[in-house]
Amino acid sequence: MDHQRLAVAPSTAPPRLPARDIVDAILRNMRENLEELPYSRLAPSSYTVYLHPTEFARLEGIVPILQEQTRRALSDELRRLSRRSMWRRSADRIIRTPPREIQKAGDDWNVTFLPDPDEELEEGGVLVCSELRLPDRPELGAGQLTRRITTIQVGQQTVVREQHVAATTKTSTQRIVGRIEYSDDSGAHAHDIVTDSLRIGRGGIAYPVDIRIASSPDVSREHARIRRDAASGAFYLIDLSSFGTTLNGRHVPKGYDTVDGAKRENGLETALPDVARIGLADIVFLEFKKVR
In a domain, 6, yes or no: no
Domain boundary among 166, 197, 219: 166
Is residue 10 included in any domain, yes or no? no
User: For residue 276, what pLDDT is reported?
Assistant: 97
Burial of 48 (0-12, 13-18, 19+ CB in 10 A): middle
Domain membership flag for residue 204: yes
On whether both 26 and 147 belong to a single domain, the answer is: yes
Q: What is the CATH number of the domain that holds 67?
A: 3.30.2320.60
- Per-residue pLDDT tens digits for 195-229: 999 999 998 887 889 999 999 999 999 999 999 99
Report yes or no: 126 and 51 within 8 Å, Cβ to Cβ: yes
Residue-wise DSSP of 48-95:
EEEE-HHHHHHHGGGHHHHHHHHHHHHHHHHHHHH---HHHHHHHHHH
Domain assignment present for residue 79? The answer is: yes
| 111 and 182, same domain (yes or no) | no
- Between residues 145 and 112, which one has the greater pLDDT? 112
- Domains: count for the chain: 2
Among 12-16, 35-39, 206-210, 235-239, the range of highest mean pLDDT:
235-239
- Indicate the residue among 166, 195, 230 that finishes a domain: 166
Is residue 152 within 8 Å of 127, Cβ to Cβ? yes
- CATH number for the domain spanning 182: value is 2.60.200.20
What is the pLDDT averaged over residues 145-172? Answer: 76
Report yes or no on 261 lying in a domain.
Answer: no
Residues whose CB falls within 8 Å of the CB of residue 68, separated by 6 or more in sequence, listed in order: none
Residue-wise pLDDT for 3-26, tens only, equals 343 344 454 555 678 899 999 999
Confidence of residue 2 (pLDDT cuts 50, 70, 90): very low
Mean pLDDT of 40-52: 92
Q: What pLDDT score was predicted for residue 121?
A: 85
158 and 192: one domain? no
Confidence at residue 141, expressed as pLDDT on a 0 to 100 scale: 47
Q: Residue 35 is part of which domain span?
A: 19-166
Residue 99 pLDDT more than 80? no
204/137 same-domain check: no
Mean pLDDT of the chain: 84
Same domain? For 190 and 70 the reply is: no
Give 123-152 pLDDT, tens digit per residue: 888 999 998 887 655 544 445 678 889 998
Same domain? For 90 and 134 the reply is yes
Regarding whether 102 and 227 lie in a shared domain, the answer is no
Residue 28, in any domain of the structure: yes
Residue 291, pLDDT score: 93
23 with 153, same domain?
Answer: yes
pLDDT at 268 over 90: yes
Both 209 and 161 in one domain: the answer is no
In a domain, 11, yes or no: no
Q: Is residue 3 part of a domain?
A: no
What integer pLDDT is reported at residue 137 of this predicted model? 53
Is the pTM higher than 0.85? The answer reads: no
Same domain, 29 and 119: yes
Confidence of residue 155 (pLDDT cuts 50, 70, 90): confident
pLDDT at residue 234 greater than cutoff 80: yes
Q: Is 85 exposed, middle or buried (0-12, 13-18, 19+ CB in 10 A)?
A: exposed
145 in the same domain as 34: yes
281: pLDDT strictly greater than 50? yes
Q: Same domain, yes or no, for 144 and 230?
A: no
